[in-house]
């Protein structure tokens, strides 16, 4: 037999089998007997894998970080709002396991990709994690497998980046349009899909106690109807509500719309805050009043700048893609400009506040309260506090920080501040020229902070209800 012929025959056999494999997959997903792999055991992948395990699927978590894998295997959490008991319980029930052996991907019926999608040094999409994962799946791909991408990305990634890499396996997954009313779903068998591919955006809001993962409706878009249908069967076991859209591109765009909506509205209130400060109007009071309108208004709040993995980053994925269509995304650019200037505004306010007390930033002792990007979470990705600390230091200030969630600041991609959280005693507070409230953690006693501090620059309205010593508070 000629060289390589065996391989070709194997592929042909797979393709012959594909109709049956796809039907078997659909059945296994519906009955909960499918084996599900989740790639990337992060803030998104870990809770999702636990949800699938709870829904009855035999679930395997994959990660390249062997330290994380060891920890999870031992039933230990590394994310504060996910209890160790939940992980240990799922492992004990033999519903959940974690591995760094990617050969096991071949045994999965469905593979869900939850890897990071950051921006590179030029603020352009860095799809290397998605590409690496697709390359890892490709040699293990077999007929009848479903692959779903969840990482936030620009419209077209699933079809234009993931599909070509998976197609190098020789297996097929044709791109074809479909209606979401289910009529076209009947015609799926003729599509001759060997494997299935879909996109379903993650909408996790870490630490949100009002909406747990399963309560947040799951939007799903397949590259064809069969894929959409299988992905819906997968998510229906874990989520209260699923919603099909007509393509993976529409699903990708849905996630970006949600985040751009937030980014633009936060920029709007940040800009109005700057105006209100000049006009002597309290923006927080205005937002509370506007919020009473029962329709047509959604409250957003100003702050020291954008943080977290999504809002400061995701809009630029769309901006980048829009260049291909020679389309300027002006709202995104403007919002980015306003939001990214907020840390400078905070530092300028600290400088003015010190100036009023005949001091200057040079050599001033400044304490920054809160480095997490939002309150009550242990996540400091893209946190504006880090930029504020860096800017204060560049002006010669002697900066310390306190955060109950971060005893020390470990090295990050962009920052290497090498600092440790200081003790928060009244004596320690009194020793600083200024205390900056950058993150309004609920555990802080704001009355006590204002009472002890010489001056408080408040970027979050955390001291809004404090009555005593208001003369020490500088709104920012």
Ligand X SMILES: NC(=O)c1ccc[n+]([C@@H]2O[C@H](COP(=O)([O-])OP(=O)(O)OC[C@H]3O[C@@H](n4cnc5c(N)ncnc54)[C@H](O)[C@@H]3O)[C@@H](O)[C@H]2O)c1
Q: Are residues 433 and 354 in contact, defined by beta-carbon separation less than 8 angstroms?
A: yes
What is d(CA 197, CA 234) in angstroms, rounded to the nearest whole number?
A: 12
What is d(CA 334, CA 412) in angstroms, rounded to the nearest whole number?
A: 27
> Nearest approach, Cβ of 43 to ligand X (angstroms)?
4
* Contact positions with ligand X (CB under 6 A) in 260-319: 309-310
> Nearest approach, Cβ of 233 to ligand X (angstroms)?
22
Could you say whether residue 42 binds ligand X (CB under 6 A)?
A: yes
What is d(CA 68, CA 271) in angstroms, rounded to the nearest whole number?
A: 41
In DSSP terms, which residues pair with 148 in a beta bridge? 112, 198
> Nearest approach, Cβ of 118 to ligand X (angstroms)?
8
> Nearest approach, Cβ of 17 to ligand X (angstroms)?
28
Could you say whether residue 41 binds ligand X (CB under 6 A)?
A: yes
Considering the complex, state which of residue 65 and residue 390 has its C-beta at the smaller distance from ligand X. 65
> Nearest approach, Cβ of 113 to ligand X (angstroms)?
8
Could you say whether residue 204 binds ligand X (CB under 6 A)?
A: yes
Q: Which of 114, 263, 310, 476 is catalytic?
A: 310
Which residue's Cβ lies closest to ligand X?
Answer: 42
Instruction: Fill in the per-residue mask, 107 to 146: x = in contact with ligand X (CB under 6 A), - = not in contact.
Output: -------xxxx-----------x--xx-------------
Return phi, psi of residue 147, to 5°: -120, 130
Q: In what order do the strands lie in the sheet with 434-437?
A: 398-402, 365-369, 434-437, 456-458, 473-475
Query: Applying CB under 6 A, what is the total number of residues that bind ligand X?
Result: 26
Could you say whether residue 206 binds ligand X (CB under 6 A)?
A: yes
* Contact positions with ligand X (CB under 6 A) in 417-476: none
For this structure, is 138 an active site residue?
Answer: no
> Nearest approach, Cβ of 270 to ligand X (angstroms)?
21
Could you say whether residue 252 binds ligand X (CB under 6 A)?
A: no
* Contact positions with ligand X (CB under 6 A) in 43-62: 43-45, 62
Considering the complex, state which of residue 44 and residue 366 has its C-beta at the smaller distance from ligand X. 44
- Of the CA atoms within 13 Å of residue 297, those in its CB half-sphere come to 12
Q: Are residues 277 and 342 in contact, defined by beta-carbon separation less than 8 angstroms?
A: no
What is d(CA 239, CA 235) in angstroms, rounded to the nearest whole number?
A: 6
What Cα–Cα distance (Å) separates residue 60 from each residue in 72, 416, 422? Answer: 11, 34, 40
Could you say whether residue 373 binds ligand X (CB under 6 A)?
A: no
Write the DSSP assignment of 276-345 as a string of letters.
HHHHT--HHHHHHHHTT-SSS-------SS--SSSTTTHHHHHHHHHHHTT---HHHHHHHHHHHTHHHH
Could you say whether residue 40 binds ligand X (CB under 6 A)?
A: yes
What is d(CA 217, CA 232) in angstroms, rounded to the nearest whole number?
A: 11
* Contact positions with ligand X (CB under 6 A) in 389-418: none
Could you say whether residue 382 binds ligand X (CB under 6 A)?
A: no
Considering the complex, state which of residue 178 and residue 373 has its C-beta at the smaller distance from ligand X. 373
Interacting residue ranges for ligand X, rule: CB under 6 A: 39-45, 62-65, 68, 114-117, 129, 132-133, 151-152, 202, 204, 206, 309-310
Task: Give the active site residues.
Answer: 310
């Amino acid at each position: 037999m000629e060289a390589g012929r065996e391989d070709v025959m194997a592929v042909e056999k797979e393709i012959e089998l594909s109709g049956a494999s796809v039907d078997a997959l659909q059945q296994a997903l519906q009955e909960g007997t499918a084996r599900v792999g989740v790639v990337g055991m992060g803030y998104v992948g870990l809770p999702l894998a636990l949800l699938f395990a709870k829904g009855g699927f035999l679930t395997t978590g994959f990660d390249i970080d062997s330290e994380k894998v060891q920890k999870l295997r031992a039933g230990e959490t590394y994310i504060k709002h996910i209890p160790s008991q939940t992980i240990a319980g799922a492992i004990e029930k033999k519903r959940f396991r974690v591995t760094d052996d990617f050969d096991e991907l071949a045994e999965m019926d469905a593979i869900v990709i939850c890897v990071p999608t950051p921006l590179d040094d030029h603020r352009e999409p860095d799809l290397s994690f998605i590409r690496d994962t697709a390359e890892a799946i490709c040699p293990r791909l077999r007929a009848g497998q479903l692959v779903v991408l969840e990482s936030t990305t620009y419209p077209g990634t699933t079809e234009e980046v993931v599909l070509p890499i998976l197609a190098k396996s020789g297996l097929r997954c044709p791109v074809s349009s479909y209606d979401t009313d289910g009529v076209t779903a009947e015609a799926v068998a003729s599509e001759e899909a060997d494997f299935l591919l879909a996109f379903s955006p993650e909408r996790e809001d870490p630490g949100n106690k009002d909406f747990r993962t399963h309560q947040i409706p799951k939007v799903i878009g397949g590259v064809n109807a069969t894929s959409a249908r299988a992905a819906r069967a997968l998510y229906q076991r874990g989520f209260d509500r699923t919603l099909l859209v007509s393509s993976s591109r529409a699903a990708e765009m849905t996630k970006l719309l949600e985040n751009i909506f937030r980014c633009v509205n936060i920029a709007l209130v940040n800009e109005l805050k700057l105006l209100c400060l000049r006009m002597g109007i309290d923006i927080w009071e205005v937002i509370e009043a506007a919020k009473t309108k029962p329709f047509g208004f959604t409250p957003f709040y100003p702050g020291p700048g954008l943080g977290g993995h999504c809002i400061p980053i995701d809009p630029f994925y769309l901006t980048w893609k829009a260049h291909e269509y020679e389309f300027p995304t002006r709202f995104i650019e403007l919002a980015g400009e306003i939001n990214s200037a907020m840390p400078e505004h905070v530092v300028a306010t600290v400088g003015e506040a010190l100036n009023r007390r005949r001091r200057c930033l040079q050599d001033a002792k400044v304490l920054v309260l809160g480095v997490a990007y939002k309150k009550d979470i242990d996540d400091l990705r893209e946190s504006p506090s880090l930029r504020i600390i860096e800017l204060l230091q560049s002006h010669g200030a002697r900066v310390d920080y306190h955060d109950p969630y971060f005893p020390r600041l470990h090295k990050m991609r962009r920052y290497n501040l090498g600092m440790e959280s200081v003790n928060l005693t009244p004596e320690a507070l009194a020793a600083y020229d200024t205390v900056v409230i950058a993150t309004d953690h609920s555990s802080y006693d704001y009355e006590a902070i204002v009472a002890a501090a010489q001056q408080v620059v408040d970027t979050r309205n955390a001291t809004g209800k404090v009555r005593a010593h208001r003369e020490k508070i500088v709104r920012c």
